Amino acid sequence: MTDNFRLDGKTAIVTGAGSGIGRAIALSFAANGAHVYAMDLKEDRATETVQLIEQAGGTQSSAIVCDVTNAAVVAQKFGEIAAAGQIDILVNSAGVSHIGRLETTTEEDFERLFRVNVKGIFLSMQAVIGPMKQAGNGVILNMASIAATAGLSDRFAYSMSKGAVLSMTLSVAKDYMADGIRCNCISPARIHTPFVDAFLHQHYPGKEEEMFAVLSKAQPIGRMGAPDEVASLALFLCSDRATFLTGADIPLDGGYVNLRG
């Protein structure tokens, strides 16, 4: 059955591929036959992801340094990839988080979240939509969050940005269905990434294990998700086994949205 989800002969761009969920997706796609362009703001992280792909015996991959908030840079980098061959898959995993409510969110905070989480996805999708239309097919997968649809404490700007991701996903799915392009998003709950560890170290020094347990139990299933679990879902959604699925927001949340209480 695993062969059903292979991506042999396909080219995938994964933004935010230098760590966490993006890296897990890049590794999974490469292990299943895709030529992966591991895109990240930081060259060392993108290069490390490519090295991990090579060490695992994955298919050809390339490290691409790209600031997804810079329109000129995005146009250049994506244009170079398109010139080299067809772009079959785009996964928008680049993003930043923020903790704060309305009154504690600064204008700078708000603009940073919008610039990376919203504008970055807008520019990346805009850069691939033309080549995908010309090819008559393509898959776009965006990383949203349960914050898009659930009221989360102290996540004002982050929730705003992920709500926009969900709305953009639905719009693109509707507008380009006739062009053979599918667009979906995944809405994870808390996933154990380096961000979580850094957050605990910064805000709860000496109590990291205790607070990790508290955060884990916030999901009804009793633990955080793993980046590999997000990658497995992403692999299915971007494979030819999911050709009937578009305009979907898939919660990967350990029961958080529907099973609390």
pLDDT digits (tens, 9 = 90+) for 78-98: 999 999 999 999 999 999 999
Q: Which one is predicted more confidently, 2 or 172? A: 172
Average pLDDT, the chain: 95
Q: What percent of the chain has pLDDT over 90?
A: 87
pLDDT at 2 over 70: no
**Amino acid 59: pLDDT:** 78
**Amino acid 3: pLDDT:** 65
pLDDT at 174 over 60: yes
Q: What percent of the chain has pLDDT over 70?
A: 98
Average pLDDT on 163-187 reads: 98
Q: Is 112 left (phi over 0), alpha (psi -120 to 50) or beta?
A: alpha
**Cα angle value 149/169/90 (rounded, 5°):** 125
pLDDT (tens digit, 9 = 90+) per residue, 23-48? 999 999 999 999 999 999 999 999 99
Q: Which one is predicted more confidently, 75 or 58? A: 75
Catalytic residue among 37, 158, 176, 256: 158
| Residue 122 in tokens | 């807008």
Outline which parts of the chain fall under CATH 3.40.50.720: 2-189+227-247
pLDDT (tens digit, 9 = 90+) per residue, 187-213? 999 999 888 888 888 878 999 999 999
Question: Do β-strands 249-252 and 61-65 pair in parallel, antiparallel, or remain unpaired?
Answer: unpaired
CATH classification code of 2-189+227-247:
3.40.50.720
pLDDT (tens digit, 9 = 90+) per residue, 90-133? 999 999 999 999 999 999 999 999 999 999 999 999 999 999 99
Asked if 95 contacts 158 with a C-beta cutoff of 8 angstroms, the reply is: no
**Amino acid 198: pLDDT:** 86
Average pLDDT on 250-257 reads: 94
**Amino acid 194: pLDDT:** 84
Give the predicted TM-score (pTM) of the model. 0.95
256 is catalytic: no
Point out which residues pair with 182 in neighbouring strands.
139
**Amino acid 10: pLDDT:** 97
Is 70 in a helix, a strand, or coil?
coil
Q: Which of 98-107, 157-166, 214-223 has the lowest average pLDDT?
A: 214-223
**Amino acid 200: pLDDT:** 86
Asked if 70 contacts 48 with a C-beta cutoff of 8 angstroms, the reply is: no
Distance separating alpha carbons of residues 82 and 24, to the nearest angstrom: 23
